[in-house]
Amino acid sequence: MEIKKAIYLESNSDWRKCPKHNKPEFAFIGRSNVGKSSLINRLANHKDLAKTSSKPGKTLCINHFFMNESWYLVDLPGYGFAKISKDGRDKLDKMIKSYVLQREELVNLFVLVDSRLDPQQIDLDFLEFLGVNGVPFSLVFTKADKLSKGKLADNIQAYKTKLEEQWEELPPIFITSSETGQGKEELLDYIDSINQSLAEQ
């Protein structure tokens, strides 16, 4: 699938204010600065659709994008953003978690993790939260361009091994780079396959 038309719709700080629609919705979540907004731009072939920054904490709302006039992609704030007050962080945490738990239109959550790092406790905790609550998710490794092929493969394998300690079955896994476009086709085809199976129901 190609995204031929990408439209920024609106930003909200509360899931209850998010647009009402009956189309499939996918969302990107992960630690602040992991590359959520950059990957959305890469998928949409659009440099500035979602706002990005080299500093963490750029995305602070729930942002809806309407793709190909048939499905929605949502850019969420990052979790674990250190440079704000505890109150601010708690508010963001609540915004993210209530969206994830309550938003009925959400069909799949993409959890982004930095391919350069060892499994981070904050990500493992978030995955556990999804598991406990039965939220369907996939795992997306970002910034693959920043590693050699060998190191990348080692890190992904280490991540899988860590997950296998906790999970009986691994989620779908994508390896991506917003810099080179790696993984873009696989990710879009996966979204397309979910959309098609929903349309057949």
d(CA 41, CA 29): 15
**Closest by Cα among 53, 11, 35 to 184:** 35
Written as six digits, the tokens of 6 are 């990408």
Q: What are phi and psi of 126, to 5 degrees?
A: -65, -40
Task: Determine if 84 is a binding residue for ligand GTP (CB under 6 A).
Answer: no
Could you tell which of Mg ion, ligand GTP, none binds residue 182, using a CB distance below 5 to 8 A set by kind?
Answer: none
Written as six digits, the tokens of 111 are 């959890």
CB 162 → Mg ion: shortest distance, Å? 25
Using CB under 6 A, which residues numbered 99 to 138 contact ligand GTP?
none
User: Which residues of the chain form contacts with Mg ion (CB under 5 A)?
Assistant: 36-37, 58-59
x-marked contacts with ligand GTP along 9-48 as a string, rule CB under 6 A: -----------------------xxxxxxx----------
Written as six digits, the tokens of 161 are 């091994």
Residue written as token pair 């896994």: 173
Residue with smallest beta-carbon separation from ligand GTP: 78
**Selected binder of ligand GTP within 178, 184, 187, 195 (CB under 6 A):** 178
Specify the DSSP element, H or E, that contains 156. Answer: helix 149-166
Torsion, Cα 155 142 168 196, to 10 degrees, reads: -150
Task: Determine if 155 is a binding residue for ligand GTP (CB under 6 A).
Answer: no
CB-wise, 23 or 61, nearer to ligand GTP?
Answer: 61
Name the packing angle between helices 36-43 and 184-200 (round to 10°). 80
CB 179 → ligand GTP: shortest distance, Å? 4
Task: Determine if 177 is a binding residue for ligand GTP (CB under 6 A).
Answer: yes
**Closest by Cα among 120, 115, 53, 43 to 74:** 43
**Selected binder of ligand GTP within 18, 26, 29, 59 (CB under 6 A):** 59
Residues making contact with ligand GTP (CB under 6 A): 32-38, 52-54, 56-59, 77-78, 142-143, 145-146, 177-179
